[in-house]
């Protein structure tokens, strides 16, 4: 049977669009492979950079906040605490930063050939996933060093990864869907990445935040994700019931964001 294409002024429904993404899944992987290849092509250290970058962050944060400022990290040693949060945060930051840039970056292609454009940020998330997997080796020696057994709840780590990926995709959807007209939104991305870490309990414990402001922490969907990561790693780590509310809010944001995105996607090329 021959393929049939119907083009109208109506954007694809979410269902149709999801199907298109599913059919393009190998393209996502191809783009991701391309990015990984290009990223580390002609570098001497290659994939070692994936370890080096978070390692530098861990050393700096531990030195300044753990050693100099002696911030409280609760029941978990500070280095481990920072590492567990930072790896998740880096994955998120990479997804948002690259994901929002990916459509701009591919302006030349998307003006010439049609494919569902969500493939581009999704491929960036895939790259982030590979780098996350590699950088996770950083945390293993730390567990040994402190003689801490990872919690059995570590089996939920894939859920934590998924939550974080959804956090990133949510922002990508919202920003991409609106930034083609309101360019200001592009400038929000560095805010989210450089300042977002301060409102997320990455290098300080949630308990440091005054009681009265505690609920506000959960407004930030990334706070929920980072806490969930730690809950997976550490037996001694408790999570607030507010967490589930935050996750629900996050899912709602992703779904609405995706809907807004599908309504707007086809307009990108007219403005790109």
Partner 1 sequence: MSSEVAIRVENVSKRYHMRHPVTTDTEEETHELWALKDVSFEIKKGESVGIIGPNGSGKSTLLKILAGVTKPTSGKVEIFGRVASILDIGAGFHTELSGRENVFLNGQIHGFTKKEIAAKFDAIVEFSGIEKFIDEPVKNYSNGMYLRLAFSIMAHLDFDVYLLDEVLAVGDENFQNKSAECITKWKDEGRTLLIIYHDFNSIKNVINREIDILKFSGHSNISIAKNDSETAEEWDFVWNDNYLDRVCIPTDRLFRRGKITLSSKIILYITAASGSGLAASDIYTLADLEKVEGHFVIKLGFKLAVGRYIFQILQPLVNSHEVLDSCIVHVTQNHGTYFTFGQEVNSVIIV
- The yes or no reply on residue 37 touching partner 1 (CB under 8 A) is yes
- The yes or no reply on residue 4 touching partner 1 (CB under 8 A) is yes
Binders of partner 1 among residues 199 to 238 (CB under 8 A) are none
- The yes or no reply on residue 8 touching partner 1 (CB under 8 A) is yes
Q: How far is the CB of 169 from partner 1 (least distance, A)?
A: 21
- The yes or no reply on residue 77 touching partner 1 (CB under 8 A) is no
Binders of partner 1 among residues 104 to 123 (CB under 8 A) are 108-115
Applying CB under 8 A, which of residues 5, 144, 155, 213 lies at the interface with partner 1?
5
Residue whose pair of structure tokens reads 């100099």 in the numeric block:
68
* Helix orientation angle between 157-179 and 119-135, rounded to the nearest 10 degrees: 140
Residue whose pair of structure tokens reads 């009265």 in the numeric block:
212
91 and 164 in contact (C-beta within 8 Å)?
yes
* Helix orientation angle between 25-40 and 14-23, rounded to the nearest 10 degrees: 60
- The yes or no reply on residue 15 touching partner 1 (CB under 8 A) is no
- The yes or no reply on residue 6 touching partner 1 (CB under 8 A) is yes
Specify burial of residue 21 (Cβ count, 10 A radius: 0-12, 13-18, 19+): middle
How would DSSP label each residue in 108-127?
Answer: HHHTTS---TTHHHHHHHHH
Please tell me the count of residues contacting partner 1 according to CB under 8 A: 29
- The yes or no reply on residue 40 touching partner 1 (CB under 8 A) is no
Residues that bind partner 1 (CB under 8 A): 2-9, 11, 26-27, 30-31, 34, 37-38, 41, 108-115, 266-267, 269-270
């Amino acid at each position: 049977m021959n393929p049939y294409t119907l083009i109208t002024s109506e954007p694809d429904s979410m269902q149709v669009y999801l199907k298109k993404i599913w059919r393009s899944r190998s393209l996502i992987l191809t783009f991701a492979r391309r990015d990984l290849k290009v990223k580390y092509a002609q570098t001497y250290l290659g994939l070692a950079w994936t370890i080096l970058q978070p390692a530098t962050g861990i050393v700096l944060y531990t030195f300044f906040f753990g050693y100099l400022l002696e911030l409280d990290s609760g029941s978990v040693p500070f280095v481990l605490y920072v590492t567990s949060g930072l790896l998740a945060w880096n994955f998120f930051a990479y997804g948002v930063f690259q994901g929002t840039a990916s459509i701009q970056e591919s302006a030349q292609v998307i003006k010439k050939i049609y494919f569902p454009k969500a493939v581009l940020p999704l491929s960036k998330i895939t790259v982030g996933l590979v780098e996350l997997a590699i950088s996770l080796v950083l945390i293993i020696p730390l567990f040994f060093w402190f003689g801490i057994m990872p919690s059995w709840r570590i089996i939920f780590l894939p859920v934590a990864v998924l939550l974080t990926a959804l956090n990133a995709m949510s922002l990508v959807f919202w920003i991409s869907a609106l930034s083609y007209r309101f360019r200001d939104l592009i400038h929000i991305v560095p805010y989210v990445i450089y300042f977002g870490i301060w409102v997320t309990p990455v290098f300080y414990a949630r308990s440091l935040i005054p009681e009265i402001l505690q609920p506000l922490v959960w407004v930030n969907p990334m706070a929920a994700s980072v806490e969930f990561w730690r809950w997976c790693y550490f037996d001694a780590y408790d999570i607030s019931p507010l967490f589930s509310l935050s996750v629900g809010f996050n899912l709602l944001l992703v779904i609405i964001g995706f809907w807004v995105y599908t309504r707007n996607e086809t307009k990108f090329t007219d403005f790109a």
